[in-house]
Amino acid sequence: MKKITILTGAGISAESGIPTFRDSGGLWEGYKVEDVATPEGWRRNPEMVLRFYNERRKGVKKAQPNPAHKALAELEKKYKVVIITQNIDDLHERAGSTHVMHLHGEIMKAQSSQNPNIVYLLGDKEINMGDKCEYGSQLRPHVVWFGEAVPMIERAAFETQNADIFMVIGTSMAVYPAAGLIKYAPENALKYIIDPKIPGSLYYENLKLIPQKASIGVKMAVDELLK
């Protein structure tokens, strides 16, 4: 069974109503990124950070997987599929994908502020000041903030190195280290890039460009691969 490794970015979830902070009027409107998405912001005002992510979590719960998420789940009928996502929502899982790696964490989980390996599934709960792990440290969002290490990146590189097909969907390919994963794909692997704004300077062997939004472009690629 051939292996497909897929990197997804904010563009695939934007069509489910989850905007990105890079868009005008996006997710982070009204907030400075350094106030809600850095360790320094957390130290300055943890109450505000918790409120911010509690609101974002409500938005994720209301959102539904779109045709692009569902099409990727269909690939598991014929391929071994690994999805590496930069998104912190759970839309891939709800669409039916069974092997999803979250490079930047998961908003539906909490972690210890002292030990990032202590993680809890939140369900319908919020995180508030005074909510602590079993060792007594305050809980924080299970999200990789700017300035923090991306603990899953080495595993993501391994999954890319061993792919027969590599797909990039809904990302500007400007956020590192995730943007560099395509360089790990084998030279003979078929590569897809699906996004309305594909950088013009890209060149890789066996590259197919689909300049479409995810809901259209992913279906085109999946239909092709399932044939």
Q: Just list the catalytic residues.
A: 104
Distance, first Cα to last Cα, the chain: 15
- The answer for residues whose C-beta is within 8 angstroms of residue 206's C-beta and 6 or more apart is 187, 188, 189, 190, 191
199, 35 in Cβ contact below 8 A? Answer: no
Dihedral angle sign, alpha carbons of residues 28, 32, 38, 41: negative
For residue 207, list its beta bridge partners.
191
φ and ψ at residue 205, rounded to 5 degrees: -65, 145
